[in-house]
Amino acid sequence: MHIMEGFLPWQWCLVWFVIAIPFVAIGVKKIIEIIRDHPEQKMTVALAGAFIFLLSSLKLPSVTGSSSHPTGTGLSAVLYGVFCTSVLSTIVLIFQALLLAHGGFSTLGANVFSMGIAGPAAGILVWLLLRKANMSVPVSMFFAAMVANLFTYVVTALQLTLAFGGAAGYGTAFVEFMTVFAVTQIPLALIEGVIFGMFAKYLSDTRPQIFGIDTANEVTA
């Protein structure tokens, strides 16, 4: 979910930039280390970024000043964590702002935080909990990707509430934003979960080591 160019007050644009920059800076260092130490993962990193670009480019109109879309961050979040995902999301958001008029530069920090940091963090937490409970890779990935998408929209609703909810009351504004977003975002989250669950099934069958799977003990259901 993107907030469009020029929609947030400059004070909030600055706040979200300040919060997002450290994540992206650490993520750049981590990606450099991954590519240097594990050059065979270059294609997987690129594939994770391609998922983010392709899925998040499928834009649907939503609340004035924002748009709904899949986030595509599930694979990157599970494989490489929040910091690396924040970098890939930043690159994608910059290209989309340049080429697709999707999002914007003034709202880049807010969009990176919601889509590249907060959403992936929630997805990783779900992934870890489900894997610890011995759920299969496809099922765990389904819920991780779905939750990453849904939490992105929750954070975007919060960002808009903080910026514009004072007049109506922050609680009322948050509920209104969440209600309107839910019409498009919940179906998109379910679809995204299915896509990533199917892809995780393929990867776990063909390249189980990518998830650190012990094939002798892995759950297949």
- SS3 (DSSP) at 76: helix
For the domain spanning 2-211, the CATH number is 1.10.1760.20
Residues 6+ apart with CB under 8 A from 66: 1, 2, 3, 4, 7, 156, 160, 181
Phi first, then psi: give them for residue 61, nearest 5 degrees.
-60, 145
**Residue 149 CB: number of other CB atoms within 10 A?**
32
What does the pLDDT read at residue 62?
57
Q: Is 167 exposed, middle or buried (0-12, 13-18, 19+ CB in 10 A)?
A: exposed
Domain parsing of the chain, residue ranges: 2-211
Work out whether the CA dihedral 44, 45, 47, 52 comes out positive or negative.
Answer: positive
pLDDT over 90 for what percent of the chain?
Answer: 62
Judged against a pLDDT cut of 50, whether residue 220 lies above it is answered with no
More confident residue, 59 or 149: 149
Distance, in Å, from the CA atom of 114 to the CA atom of 154, rounded to the nearest integer, reads: 8
Are 112 and 89 a contacting pair, CB within 8 Å? yes
pLDDT, tens only, 153-182: 999 999 999 998 877 788 988 998 888 877
Distance, in Å, from the CA atom of 22 to the CA atom of 15, rounded to the nearest integer, reads: 12
What does the pLDDT read at residue 63?
55
- SS3 (DSSP) at 27: helix
Q: Mean pLDDT over residues 34-44, rounded?
A: 92
For the whole model, what pTM was predicted? 0.89
Distance, in Å, from the CA atom of 157 to the CA atom of 90, rounded to the nearest integer, reads: 20
pLDDT, tens only, 188-218: 899 999 999 999 999 989 888 888 765 545 4
Q: Mean pLDDT over residues 92-104, rounded?
A: 84
Judged against a pLDDT cut of 70, whether residue 83 lies above it is answered with yes
